[in-house]
């Protein structure tokens, strides 16, 4: 790509997409269009020298055609989503994100000169019957079929993956699809109901310390297992995939499997505190276990996400602490 080629980043007011805008601008790309449905003051980060298009609902076809004009590359990170507390209670809203991918693909076909189209899928697309044990076998790409995705959000992701495939086969659009496994890091949602476990636990520990409370609430029994990938590893994987010749969906995730209890241990260690744990067994908790099989990504790129969880969580905790303290001081922060 030329540094002046137009790159459209959908969902740029959010965590991953906003970080990608910053990464690409830092690499010297000068024609970046960052798009989000939220007002600009609600974006997690903005980057100098970027065309920021706010209050733009990409579920609307005309908006997709407008931003895609002259685009050489499109990255679709846009989705109505959050942690388990959100996606288990907003399934219809999550499903409506299919309109974003559909209309962006149509725009790429009709009005752009798109060379590459990236779609951010999720490990929620995997067959849930394979994720019923805490010592789960790591999920390889073929495990998405026979299909039995996470209800709502996962089915939208799986369907949109197929849309990308068929637009590639029928119209020649070079689509690339990554299945993310729990991305975390600075500039992510950390309060309000959409946050994921690394942010939620960090905030709860910070709040307990601030209020002199010795309790922490954990959803489920804490034995459910996941892997968590730091944002820098995620961005590196996306760019490797987008610019490559690998066309099929691929895992981008850490293979470091931990329980939620272990994640709490890590955050407590970072904060030098030990809290009493209250387990909320009726809370949304998702599948019992999920991990990323990185055989394919290592085979294709000779690389995999590798930042140790504790190292990433130090950065995550420190950033959330600054946001928590700023909010407490009366400053306006994006949560």
Name the residue with tokens 């507390």.
Answer: 85
Task: Looking at the structure, tell me whether residues 204 and 122 fall in a common domain.
Answer: no
What is the domain range of residue 74? Answer: 6-183+229-252
Which range has the worst mean pLDDT, 83-92, 240-249, 280-289, 293-302? Answer: 83-92
- Are 214 and 129 in a shared domain? no
Average pLDDT over residues 299-322: 98
One domain for residues 111 and 208: no
Does residue 145 lie within any of the structural domains?
yes
Task: Give the pLDDT band of residue 186 (cuts 50, 70, 90).
Answer: very high
Which residue, 215, 208, 97, 209, is CA-closest to 163?
97
Residue 165 placed within a domain: yes
Query: How many other C-beta atoms can be found within 10 angstroms of the C-beta atom of residue 28?
Result: 8
CATH, residue 169:
3.40.50.720
Mean pLDDT for the stretch of residues 219-228 = 96
Residue 53 in tokens: 């298009």
pLDDT value of residue 36: 98
CATH number of the domain bearing residue 218: 3.90.25.10
On whether residue 330 sits in a domain, the answer given is no
Q: Is 151 in the same domain as 221?
A: no
Is the distance from CB of 100 to CB of 74 less than 8 angstroms? Answer: no
Do 27 and 83 fall into the same domain? yes
Inside any domain, residue 335: no
CA 4 to chain CA mean position, Å? 27
Which pLDDT band holds residue 218 (cuts at 50, 70, 90)?
very high
| Number of structural domains the chain divides into | 2
The answer to the question of residue 197 being in a domain is: yes
Segment 27-36, tens digit of pLDDT: 999 999 999 9
In a domain, 331, yes or no: no
In this predicted structure, the answer to whether residue 84 has a pLDDT above a threshold of 80 is no
Of the CA atoms within 13 Å of residue 150, those in its CB half-sphere come to 31
More confident residue, 238 or 286: 238
Q: In this structure, are 217 and 316 located in the same domain?
A: yes
Positions marked active-site: 153
Q: What is the arithmetic mean of pLDDT over 152-158? A: 96
Q: Are residues 237 and 263 in the same domain?
A: no
58 found inside a domain = yes
Q: CA-CA distance, 117 to 331, in Å (whole number)?
A: 38
Q: What is the pLDDT of residue 80?
A: 85
Say if residue 150 is in the same domain as residue 235: yes
d(CA 101, CA 233): 24
pLDDT at 320: 98
- C-alpha to C-alpha distances, 335 to 121, 196, 291, 297, nearest whole angstrom: 23, 12, 27, 33
Per cent of the chain over pLDDT 70 is: 100
What pLDDT, in 10s, does the model give residues 104-120?
999 999 997 999 999 99
Whether residue 202 sits in one domain with residue 238: no
Mean predicted confidence (pLDDT) in 221-248: 98
Range 221-250 average pLDDT: 98
Q: Are residues 86 and 18 in the same domain?
A: yes
Mean pLDDT of the chain: 96
Residue environment code for 196-216, b if the CB has 16+ CB neighbours within 10 A, otherwise e: bbbbbbbbbbbebbeeeeeeb
pLDDT at residue number 165: 98
Q: Same domain, yes or no, for 212 and 240?
A: no
For 162-171, write each residue's pLDDT tens digit.
999 999 999 9
Q: Could you identify the residue written with the tokens 């003051």?
A: 41
Are 220 and 269 in the same domain?
Answer: yes
Residues facing residue 51 across a β-bridge: 33
301 within domain boundaries = no
Summarize the confidence of residues 41-65 as an average pLDDT: 97
């Amino acid at each position: 790509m030329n540094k002046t080629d137009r790159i459209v980043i959908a969902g740029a007011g959010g965590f991953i997409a906003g970080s990608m805008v910053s990464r690409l601008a830092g690499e010297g790309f000068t024609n970046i269009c960052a798009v989000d449905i939220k007002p600009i003051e609600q974006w997690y980060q903005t980057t100098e020298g970027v065309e920021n298009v706010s209050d733009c609902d990409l579920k609307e076809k005309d908006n997709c055609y407008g931003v895609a004009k002259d685009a050489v590359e499109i990255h679709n990170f846009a989705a109505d989503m959050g942690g388990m507390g959100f996606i288990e209670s907003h399934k219809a809203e999550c499903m409506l994100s299919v309109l974003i991918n559909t209309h962006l693909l149509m725009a790429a076909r009709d009005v752009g000169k798109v060379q590459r189209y990236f779609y951010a899928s999720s490990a929620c697309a995997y067959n849930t019957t394979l994720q019923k044990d805490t010592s789960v076998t790591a999920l390889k790409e073929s495990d998405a079929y026979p299909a039995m995705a996470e209800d709502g959000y996962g089915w939208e992701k799986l369907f949109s993956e197929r849309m990308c495939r068929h637009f590639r086969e029928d119209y020649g659009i070079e689509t690339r699809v990554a299945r993310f496994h729990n991305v975390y890091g600075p500039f992510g949602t950390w309060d309000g109901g959409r946050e994921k476990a690394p942010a939620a636990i960090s905030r709860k520990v910070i709040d307990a310390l601030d209020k002199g409370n010795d309790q922490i609430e954990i959803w489920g029994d804490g034995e459910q297992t996941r892997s968590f990938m730091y944002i820098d590893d995620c961005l590196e994987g996306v760019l490797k995939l987008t610019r490559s010749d690998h066309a099929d969906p691929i895992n981008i995730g850490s293979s470091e499997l931990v329980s939620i209890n272990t994640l709490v241990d890590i955050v407590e260690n970072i904060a030098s505190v030990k809290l009493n744990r209250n387990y909320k067994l009726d809370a949304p908790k998702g599948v019992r276990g999920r991990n990323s099989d990185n055989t394919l990504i290592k085979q294709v790129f000779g690389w995999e996400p590798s930042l140790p969880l504790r190292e990433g969580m130090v950065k995550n905790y420190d950033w959330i602490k600054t946001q928590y303290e700023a909010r407490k001081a009366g400053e306006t922060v994006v949560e």
